Structure 1
Amino acid sequence: MSEREEFLTWVNGEFVAAERALLDGDDRPRRSTWSRVEPVSALGAWRNAVGRAGLVEAFEVLASSFSDCTEYVFDLISYEVSGSMAYTVGYEHFTARIDGSPRTMTLRATQVYRRDGDGWHVVHRHADAM
């Protein structure tokens, strides 16, 4: 399997599953897809965070707002892998409850990844609502 195929398999598997879990109210899988090695940061559609502790706090708050995800699709527009770094650009389409109200949304998301000791991890995310 090529480096690009390996990365894409991870994105479409573990990463997508973690994002869907967050939209179901469980932030633990998302924590595992993010790097524990600084620097890490997120400029999110709902919250911003810098540093691992800030990310964990933001993920907990987000997870408490989301529930009952019935759909999550990561529509990948482009990606590249270069050694131990990679990026993705795409749209995240989802249907879930946000603070109890059913919502269907699309976010534009750009993410940067780093291959740490045990595999690929997110190191930066920028997302906003369309």
Structure 2
Amino acid sequence: MTDEIFSAYLTRRKAASDAFVAGDVAPLHEVSTASDPATILGPAGTLVQGAESVNATNAEGSARFTGAERNDLETIHGGEEGDLAWWVGVQRSVVSVEGQDEPVPMDLRVTELYRREDGAWKLFHRHADPLRES
């Protein structure tokens, strides 16, 4: 069961995702950790470790997007227990990417982990890879 503070955080996290695919990484940095450990297992099979590297990678990734026709987060399950929380779902987006003439569909399987830092929830791990419909 999620508490009101974590639910409010997830609302901010969704807004950060919307901003990210519009080319603005600042809201994602606000909801992400600046402390190690931090990781991204990216859709292209990459592994990024360390908060500084994760935040730099997010900035580089966001800079490639120029907008989104759609960016939906479908929750499979999530919750929080103590100072740890998680969200598992599917991100379904249609994004405009620098260098592409047409919008690109981007459906990802996503697992995110969060921890409470100084009373605030922060994203410290994201695993996203392409969704294959079954």
Alignment TM-score, normalising by the size of structure 2: 0.87
Contact 1:92–1:108 under 8 Å retained in 2: yes
CA RMSD of aligned residues (A): 1.6
CA distance, structure 1, for counterparts of residue 33 and residue 67 of structure 2: 27
Alignment partner of 1:58 is 2:28: no
Determine the structure 2 residue equivalent to 1:36.
Answer: 34
Consecutive unaligned residues of structure 2, counting only runs of 5 or more, are none
Give percent identity, aligned residues only: 26
**Change over 3 Å in CA distance of 1:3–1:93 after alignment to 2:** closer
CA distance, structure 2, for counterparts of residue 6 and residue 117 of structure 1: 13
Q: For 1:59-74, what aligned pairs fall within 5 Å after superposition?
A: 59-74=58-73
Determine the structure 2 residue equivalent to 1:16.
Answer: 14
Name the aligned partner's letter for residue 43 of structure 2.
Answer: A
Alignment TM-score, normalising by the size of structure 1: 0.90
Determine the structure 2 residue equivalent to 1:25.
Answer: 23
Alignment partner of 1:92 is 2:91: yes
Residue 3 of structure 1 and its aligned partner are, at CA, apart by: 4.9
Consecutive unaligned residues of structure 1, counting only runs of 5 or more, are none
Q: Which runs of 4+ in 1 moved over 2 A?
A: 2-6
Alignment partner of 1:122 is 2:123: yes
Residue 100 of structure 1 and its aligned partner are, at CA, apart by: 3.6
Residue 98 of structure 1 and its aligned partner are, at CA, apart by: 1.9
